Amino acid sequence: MTQLITTDLVELDQNLGNAPETVIRHLASKVAATGRASEVEGLFADAFAREQKTATGIPGGIAIPHCRSAAVTVPTLAMARLDPKVDFGAKDGPADLVFFIAAPDGADQEHLKLLSKLARSLIKKDFTAALRNASSQAEIVELVDGALADKPAAHAAAAPVDAVPVGATVGAAGAAGAAGAAGASAMGAPAGSAGSAAGDSTPARPKRLVAVTACPTGIAHTYMAADSLVEAAKEAGVDLQVETQGSSGAKALDPAVIAAADAVIFAVDVDVRGKERFAGKPVISAPVKRGIDEPDKMVREAIAAADNPNAHRVPHFGAEEQAERAEAEKGEHIGQKLKKALLTGVSYMIPFVAGGGLLIALGFLMGGYLITKYADTIVVQNSIFNLPTEFPENAWGPLGAYLGAVLFKIGALSLGFLVPALAGYIAYAIADRPGIAPGFVAGAVAGFMGAGFLGGIVGGLLAGYIAHVIGQLQVARWLRGLMPVVIIPLLASLVASGLMFLILGAPIVAITKGLNGWLSGLTGAGAIALGVILGLMMCFDLGGPVNKVAYSFAVAGLGAATIDNQAPWQIMAAVMASGMVPPLAMALASTVLNKKLFSLAEQENGKAAWLLGASFISEGAIPFAAADPLRVIPASMLGGAVTGAISMAAGVGSKAPHGGLFVFFAIDNFLMFVVSIIVGTVITALSVIALKRWAVKKTVDTVEPVPATV
């Protein structure tokens, strides 16, 4: 098996910057330099994206940034002992020991087990002390190899053999050994159960806990949390068995062990697989990092929950699911909940719009713009073997007309789901699965009445909150199974759709018609002003909430676009063009115009930003904005506003909601689309260079004080 770490992958007592980003980038470059990764940028992007999900600092001055990446060719460990320390988000302060774990997307199980084993070793104080005292790279490699080659520990997947809880009938088992210990634990269950019966004089058995740990990558935090929880349970004198749902495989806890457990701990950043197995058990749930930082507190909370009849429990995946959602959302105010619901609806709606819009654009390309008048007749009366004789003059002949009609009709039917999908998934975000059907129905009603996306938003919110309220009702146990599949969809659909028909629909239709009329009538200064506003919003936070509002506004309006009402297409084009400016401008400035003003890392980011910008991925400019927000963001907003104004003034339209230059066939007046992007890109690039040159922080003049001291 290939060695996971070599001396070339070790840095000792080095200054690698003052932020996790610079440390991770440096270690990623070392991995690539040794031929273990195909590129630095792809590996860094994957690792830093993982870091942004959950900080990888753990108590003891340690950080374990890690990822699975297509750029990695060989499973690898890179290590740095930092001087000065860097804050990776641990509660007890910055880290001086950093292990970067890089695994290929398709890493084999043996390698993944070794990577996970190293992560577990890092919570052992003697091991970390030896790492801090090592005097050479070779000594570090020897220590790591020794930890990985420890055969007995290699099979104690979630807990070492000595992790037997005081007074328990069976030792706490880990992920790999869970099933083996499960049978023994189950054998001790009857006596324990008898001892806990009311009025029995037999001493009460120790509490039995089960836990699940999981993180998005499943390499480090998953196993470290498992070990930390097991150690804390051992000290508390309770039996704890852990199921690690990680990359190196997971062995499910024995059902008998789960049945005998008094409480459950979920230390997870992702959904628990097979959560229904724990239904009805008292549960303590927290991010996986808390299982590393505060395992003793989690164990104590689980013990307390086991004796508390009012403790939060794993739901039975019916009406009780609402209680779990309410608990998770307790800290959110109404604005956050609304934003989350609306963005959820938009995110699920976009695939319908993206596919439908591109198909309509292809239909127009092959069948001509008048294909809308012929499409219904052609797709019903003709076939590939019976091509139409009547079709638009600018179609690509009979075959082009037929294929264009088919593509247009598929796209139009896909766009027909825009409002129902928007409403359905807004309701889903509020009420979970029971809200989907009422939301879709309310959205269909909005579409039928001509209320457009505004009607879909109102209908989805209405259906979601009504379903949520009904789900909160306390009903008889025998009725709970019917709640999510019959009662909630029935009542919520009836109330929400009834309100749309009887009260809300007509006013929303009037507002929608007025908005469409206003947008259609925008010309000259009005259209340019709208383009400026949209451009400013798209470049303000580069994929953040403001950017998403502008994008969602454009995407939601595509369903109302027609040949006679092209304003939604024009708005979409302005939004897309403006969103392409920041990454393209940063690429131009950092790789062509003035490289010296940018760090080597930014120059590397600039190379990737060319493709990201051309694809309409505004986030390509985030590394630049994060490093220098007061110069990059204003410059981006200036260029984006100019691009939006030019696009709207020229009447550029886009039938596709995404894709940038690669959906050229879906863009009307493509030449001006490109011109608007080029102008905005140049303005932003020159602006950011000017700001970096002349808008600099003034340093204290060290010459002036001299006369005063002489």
CA-CA distance, 437 to 441, in Å (whole number)?
6
pLDDT at 649 > cutoff 80: yes
- Joined tokens for residue 617: 């991925």
Span 282-288, mean pLDDT? 89
Instruction: Report pLDDT for 447.
Output: 86
Top-level class of domain 7-153 = alpha beta
More confident residue, 453 or 168: 453
* Predicted local distance difference test score (pLDDT) of residue 2: 57
Does the pLDDT of residue 458 top 60, yes or no?
yes
CB 641 within 8 A of CB 679: no
Amino acid at 257: V
Q: Point out the least confidently predicted range of 170-179, 212-221, 355-364, 464-473.
A: 170-179
pLDDT of residue 525: 80
* β-strands 62-63, 95-104 pairing: parallel
pLDDT at 576: 93
Under the banding of pLDDT at 50, 70 and 90, the label for residue 172 is very low
Region of poorest pLDDT, from 4-18, 20-34, 357-371, 675-689: 357-371
- Token digits of residue 152: 């007995």
Is pLDDT of 521 > 90?
no
pLDDT, average across residues 592-596: 87
Per-residue pLDDT, 217 = 58
Q: What is the pLDDT of residue 115?
A: 60
Contact 121, 157 (CB under 8 A): no
What whole-number distance in Å separates Cα of residue 44 and Cα of residue 429? 32
Report d(CA 463, CA 536) in Å as an integer. 34
Contact indicator for 455, 345 with CB cutoff of 8 Å = no
Mean pLDDT of the chain: 79
Higher pLDDT residue, 108 or 142?
A: 142
More confident residue, 249 or 455: 455
pLDDT of the residue at 699? 46
- Higher pLDDT residue, 193 or 639? 639
CA atoms within 13 A on the CB side of 432: 20
Q: How many residues does the chain have?
A: 710
Q: Give the CA distances from residue 269 to residues 246, 266, 330, 682, in Å, rounded to whole numbers and listed in that order.
A: 12, 9, 18, 42
Quote the pLDDT of residue 706.
Answer: 45
Q: Whose CA is closest to 353, among 654, 670, 668?
A: 654
Give residue 214's pLDDT. Answer: 82
Q: DSSP 3-state assignment of 115?
A: helix
The residues near 105 (Cβ < 8 Å, ≥ 6 apart) are: 68, 69, 70, 72
Task: Decide if 312 is catalytic.
Answer: no
Task: Identify the three-state secondary structure at position 292.
Answer: helix
- Strand runs (DSSP E) across 26-182, as ranges? 57-58, 62-63, 66-69, 76-86, 95-104
**Is-catalytic flag, 67?**
no
151 pLDDT more than 90:
no
pLDDT at 78: 92
State the catalytic residue, choosing from 26, 111, 215, 658.
215
Q: What percent of the chain shows pLDDT beyond 70? A: 81
Q: Is the pLDDT of residue 153 over 80?
A: no
Task: Tell me the per-residue pLDDT of 295-308, one tens digit each, with 9 for 90 and over.
Answer: 999 999 999 998 88
Q: Which among 26, 9, 38, 153 is positioned nearest to 86, based on CA atoms?
A: 26
Q: What is the pLDDT of residue 370?
A: 79
Residue of 26, 66, 111, 221 marked active site:
66
Q: Per residue in 420-453, pLDDT tens?
A: 998 999 998 888 888 899 999 999 999 898 887 7
Q: What digits encode the pLDDT tens for the residues 179-204? A: 333 333 333 333 333 334 444 444 56
At 577, the pLDDT band (50, 70, 90 cuts) reads very high
Q: For residue 601, is pLDDT > 80?
A: no
Query: Peptide bond preceding 84: is omega within 30 degrees of 0, i.e. cis?
Result: yes
Least confident of 355-369, 422-436, 623-637: 355-369
Q: How far is CA 146 from CA 5, 88, 96, 164, in A?
A: 12, 26, 21, 25
Q: Which residue has the tokens 């676009």?
A: 561
Lowest-confidence range among 92-106, 198-212, 332-346, 638-652? 198-212
pLDDT higher than threshold 80 for residue 363: yes
The H or E element containing residue 585 is helix 567-588
Return the domain boundaries, the chain. 7-153, 178-194+203-316, 334-517, 525-694
CATH code 3.40.140.10 for 178-194+203-316: no
Query: Where residue 331 falls among pLDDT bands split at 50, 70, 90?
Result: low
What are 691-709's pLDDT values in tens digits? Answer: 988 866 554 444 444 444 4
- Say if 7-153 and 178-194+203-316 have the same CATH topology: no
Mean pLDDT is lowest, of 501-515, 640-654, 664-678, for: 501-515
How far does Cα 236 stand from its chain's mean position?
A: 36
Find the mean pLDDT for residues 397-421. Answer: 88
Distances (CA, A) of 375 to 95, 167, 418, 521: 65, 77, 20, 28
